[in-house]
Amino acid sequence: MSQQTSLTYAKVNEDVIRMLDKPTVKWLALFVPTLGVVGFGLFCFLYQVYTGLGAAGYRHPIFWGVYITDFVFWVGIAHSGTLISAVLYLFRANFRMSIYRIAEGMTVFAVLTAGLFPIIHLGRPWFFYWLFPYPNQRELWVNFKSPLLWDVFAVSTYLTVSSVFFFVGMIPDIAAIRDRVTEKPRKILYSILSLGWKGSNWEWLHYTRAYLFFAAFATPLVLSVHSVVSWDFAMANLPGWHTTIFAPYFVAGAIFSGLGMVITLTVPIRKIFSLEQYITLDNYDGMAKLIIVTSLIVGYAYGVEFFMAWYSSNPAEWGQFYYRATGEYALFYWIMIFCNVVSPLPLWFKSVRRNIKALFIISIFINIGMWFERFNIIVISLSRGFDPASWGIYKVSWVEIGITLGSFAWFFMFFLIFIKTLPAVSIAEMKEILPVPKKEAKGHE
């Protein structure tokens, strides 16, 4: 970490808290249009509630379309946040220090976005609470054997635990902001959020221990959540869905797409707030290597799906995969292959991994490719089931496009508010990788 030696404890505080200064015109220029797009998404949703789900382009036999694609996409985006904050914490990978807060924020906001889609997808969204088990006058309970209910438990647990993890990680940093701001309203806000943190040895003793447990809980949780999401499909007896490789395939894809999104978000933030000393090329190098690994797993899964369909001699299964690569949706299939398997290949070269522009472009491709992966799995499988009499084509409607755009804006809206109100780089953890200030042998650990 040679680039970080010029940093001192005080400089870290100053640089991170400087990001929270009054919003600039540039920030507002981003924020206001974002709100506009969120408004358009809301309008589309209200139109759909008023008109009915036909507005969403749902036609026989396809009743899971863009909304479920968006749901799986956003849950996937959420995954790398927990990977970077919890799994790499347990492995003591120092390259996570500078980016984990942004990644964690991304997790929370992506789950918040994902959670909307099952509700948007409901015909009567105002009855969404029927999904939760609660005593009611009909004395009915939810069906715990349904994968859709597992999803309710998995996603709501994930939202709760990742929010707690996000918040607890920020407590010492919020205290640092509290000690520095002077305006009364901000002082009161940060004082409440810091929960009276003082950084005494008592607090650190329990804090470091509790943080370890949170990481230890979040690690299996993150693997379980996308496995459960994959079982929404794998438990159904449909060609293209009913396969045992779905859980690891989805988890690897989730981490892959999430890392893409982390790069897409951190590159502009690093530039705008001059965080080159914090988010270093080594950090990007580490993420790019993880992208290679997950891209290979995803690429292998694409191949194995075809192999299993062919080797099983199951005509419905083989017909499904043959159709994916050559049928009406073939363009989407090959976009997916290009974006997820071919476009990350240049990352094998060190010079590409350390080239911010190249990384940014590849990360955009990954985001696009992973959205299409979910679309392909969901829509193409549904459009060609067992019985040729029930085959059909699905066309995306403007309402769905509006709501999808709205969901991206909704996600960026939270993110923009986050970088102006909370510390986007962890102050305390950045200090942990700096040399400890000592009188004797200064500058060495």
Partner 1 sequence: MNNQGVLGIFSYVDLTVNAVKKLKEEGFKTIRVFSPVPNHEIEDVMGEPESIVRFFTLFGAMLGASCGVGFTVLTSMDWPLPVSAKPIVSIPPFIVIIFELTILMGALSTLLGLLINSRLRRNAPVDMYDPRFSEDKFGIMVACDKGNVEKVQGILNSHGAEEIKVDGI
Q: Which residues bind partner 1 (CB under 8 A)?
A: 8-10, 13, 133, 139-146, 149-150, 153-154, 157, 160-161, 164-165, 168, 172, 175-176, 178-180, 195-210, 213-214, 217-218, 220-221, 224, 228, 428, 431-432, 436-440
> Residue 374 contacts by C-beta under 8 Å, 6 or more apart in sequence?
68, 69, 72, 73, 76
* Phi, psi at 137, each rounded to 5°: -70, -15
Q: Which is nearer to partner 1, 179 or 285 (CB)?
A: 179
3-state secondary structure 344-390: CHHHHCHHHHCCHHHHHHHHHHHHHHHHHHHHHHHHHHHHCCCCHHH
- Smallest distance from the beta carbon of 113 to partner 1, in angstroms? 20
State residue 441 phi and psi, 5-degree precision. 50, 55
For CA atoms 31, 100, 11, 264, the dihedral sign is: negative
Asked whether 155 and 75 are in contact (CB, 8 A), the reply is yes
Whole-number CA gyration radius for the chain? 23
Residue 62, beta-bridge partner list: 59
- Residue 259 tokens, joined: 């890392």
Q: CB-wise, 21 or 440, nearer to partner 1?
A: 440
Neighbours of 213 (CB within 10 A): 9
Tell me the sheet residues that pair with 59: 62
Residue 407 and residue 75 in contact, taking contact as beta carbons nearer than 8 Å:
no
Q: Which is nearer to partner 1, 60 or 439 (CB)?
A: 439
| Minimum distance from residue 253 beta carbon to partner 1 (Å) | 20
Q: Among residues 319 and 435, whose Cβ is nearest to partner 1?
A: 435
94-103 per-residue burial string, b: 16 or more CB within 10 A, e: under 16: ebbbbbbbbb
Give 136 or 390: the residue with its C-beta nearer to partner 1. Answer: 136
Nearer to partner 1, 50 or 202 (CB): 202
CB of 220 to partner 1, least distance (A): 7
Looking at the Cβ atoms of 2 and 201, the one nearer to partner 1 is 201
Closest approach, Cβ 185 to partner 1, in A, equals 18
